[in-house]
Structure 1
């Protein structure tokens, strides 16, 4: 009969998430992860299957938790407000107490060795899925007359998403909330009425 777990899986996953968020998939070693989680390697493997399985679980918690406002922003009443709320989320994420800077989807594994291409691809798929949702939102705005007929929903979505990802990188480089909000203000000046 298997022994009951002696640790809280959600709490351990949250600790792993923070480490992945700050160090990326490859930068977070198994020793660092097990220490942060307060478990040993056999417990990690028994619960999550592998480091990759742990990352997948942490990524799910990230998308449902800290990153949830991004998907909520897409559903804003207007396309302009959706763009603003998405970018403002990235500018305002700087300095949230107890949270790392940047975005796990951006910095988790942009570059990795061949053994970890699957992790890079998972993160890329999540970013592409968000881009697709934003594109659909802007297509709807075009149909409803909110955006000019000649506006490209796909290009506009890529523009907004690129600004969001750039804000995440600037956050990692130490930009302040005020500096990033000014970038959002400039980006919104380019958003079609």
Structure 2
């Protein structure tokens, strides 16, 4: 989506205001750049100047595109990140030779992850931990994100049960929520315990439901 912002140019010879060329910016790219600031600084400490500099736009353009200011930008950032994360995750999962093994490795890599990255979705996880109870809009985005993740897990588990790739016959929806709860909980646990060995043991214990 692109926003067109009308600027004005002063023409000295006539001293009249004339319409200048519209300034066009890629909204998705601007939001993606703002997301990097939110990742690194957090919502509360990310300043307006840092966000505007990263996005490469002025205040006028910013408030035309994001009338709700910083809060709206943050919500849009979470929504865009969420859409990209689940789209990529679903595509990679469907292309994998073994979907259950792909899910296992997805979780096991969380034990080694020191930095926030889009492949593991920790930007969403951090938002769940930090702000979901403080802001209803963030809470809504977070709830939808968890439902999307649960749906992906449940679909893969149901398929594996049908093909007898796993022995566990528990309702796939429940197992999907178990994995979603694990993903959500790991973002809390990592704030207190960052030992890869401990996290890996915890993950492996929870992943026994996929045997």
What is the CA–CA distance in structure 1 between the aligned matches of 2:84 and 2:197, rounded to whole Å? 24
TM-score for the superposition, normalised by structure 1 = 0.72
TM-superposed CA distance for 1:183, in Å, is 2.8
Q: What secondary structure does 1:191 align onto?
A: helix
The aligned residue for residue 90 of structure 1 is 110
TM-score for the superposition, normalised by structure 2 = 0.67
Q: Judging by fraction of residues, say which structure has more strand.
A: 2
Indicate the structure whose relative CO is greater, using CA pairs within 8 Å and at least 6 residues apart: 1
Number of paired residues? 187
- CA separation of 1:176 and 1:7: change in aligned 2, threshold 3 A: farther
CA deviation vs aligned residue, 1:59-87 (integer Å, no higher than 9, x gap): 24423556765434543443531430331
Residues 168, 210 of structure 2: 8 Å contact kept? no
Q: Which has the larger radius of gyration?
A: 2
Residues 131, 161 of structure 1: 8 Å contact kept? yes
Q: Judging by fraction of residues, say which structure has more helix.
A: 1
RMSD: 3.5
Match of 1:152 among 158, 171, 185: 171
What is the CA–CA distance in structure 2 between the aligned matches of 1:149 and 1:88, rounded to whole Å? 20
TM-superposed CA distance for 1:46, in Å, is 1.7
Structural mapping, 1:1-193, within 5 Å? 2-3=6-7, 4-5=22-23, 9-10=27-28, 12-22=30-40, 25=43, 28=46, 30=48, 33-34=51-52, 36-37=54-55, 39-50=57-68, 51-63=70-82, 70-72=89-91, 74-75=93-94, 76-95=96-115, 103-108=122-127, 109-112=131-134, 116-148=135-167, 150-173=169-192, 175-188=194-207, 190-193=208-211
